[in-house]
Amino acid sequence: MPDIDTILKRLEKIDPYIAELKMRYDECSEKEGGHLAPDMQRNKCYHCFRRLSYPSIKNQEEYSRETEIQKLADWFEGLKILKRK
């Protein structure tokens, strides 16, 4: 099974919104402090559409699984928002 970066590269050829969202992720990741348009009250960045932080879970395996699911949800929510613009 291909890794997530390989899958994203394939999808970039199909959907221009993926390239834009990836660029927004990179811009926020490169910024000192983490996000270009953070909203601390809503725990969301309005530039990359990601959560600012993910809830902590005591069990590490459960935390990893839950966090990955939330990150995927953020990714698809970001794509939906960009397509609406």
Task: Please return the burial class of 1, using the count of CB atoms within 10 Å of its CB with bins 0-12, 13-18 and 19+.
Answer: exposed
Tokens 């970066």 belong to which residue? 5
Task: State the pTM of this model.
Answer: 0.73
pLDDT at 42: 95
Between CA 48 and CA 82 the distance in angstroms is 10
Q: At what angle do helices 60-84 and 16-30 cross, to 10 degrees?
A: 120
pLDDT at 56: 73
Per-residue pLDDT of the chain (85 residues; tens, 9 = 90+): 677 788 777 777 667 888 899 999 999 999 887 899 999 999 999 999 999 988 776 777 777 888 888 999 999 999 999 988 8
